[in-house]
Amino acid sequence: MTTEGAKKLGAFSGIVGLKCPQCRQGDLFKKPGLYVVKGMADMYDRCPVCNLKYEQEPGFWWGSMYLNYGTSVAIILPTFIVFYSIVGLEFYTALSLGGLLLLLLVPMVFRLGRACWIYWFGKYKS
């Protein structure tokens, strides 16, 4: 990506693309992509492009777990309501289907939670 292209990359695109919040060119994770199962938590310590330190203090990523929890509730609750109330499945069947959907989405939710968290605290240098 060119430097000019990086300036045009917005925060939303940077989060979804899992890019550094400062330069929006370097990758946050060692394995690219939103859905990575094996090694989904393997992150660089610093941005490969601008050298921004990702983990700003010990325990920095704990806050992203709150985002992940909220996202998980936002996934499982509507799924449960649809399957239980609208489709008419039994309680535990509807709950299990919501849990299964959430389980399938864990890698993506985890990575997006961390990207949102670092963008909240990272500064973009144009």
What pLDDT digit, counting tens, does each position of 33-43 carry? 999 999 999 99
Task: Report, as an integer, the average pLDDT of 13-22.
Answer: 94
Contact 124, 11 (CB under 8 A): yes
Q: What are phi and psi of 38, to 5 degrees?
A: -85, 120
Whole-structure pTM value: 0.85
Instruction: Determine the pLDDT at residue 2.
Output: 47
pLDDT tens digits, one per residue of 74-114: 999 999 999 999 999 999 999 999 999 999 999 999 999 99
Contact 111, 30 (CB under 8 A): no
Q: What is the DSSP letter of 99?
A: H
Q: How many CB atoms lie within 10 A of CB 10?
A: 11
Contact 28, 20 (CB under 8 A): yes
In DSSP terms, 53 is beta-bridged to 46
Q: How many CA atoms lie within 13 A of 36 on its CB side?
A: 15
- pLDDT band for position 5 (cuts 50, 70, 90): very low
Cα distance between residue 118 and residue 122, in whole Å: 6
Written as one string, the DSSP assignment of 12-73 is: HHHHHTTB-TTTS-SBSBSS-SS---TTTT-B-SB-TTT--BS--STTTTHHHHHHHHHHHH
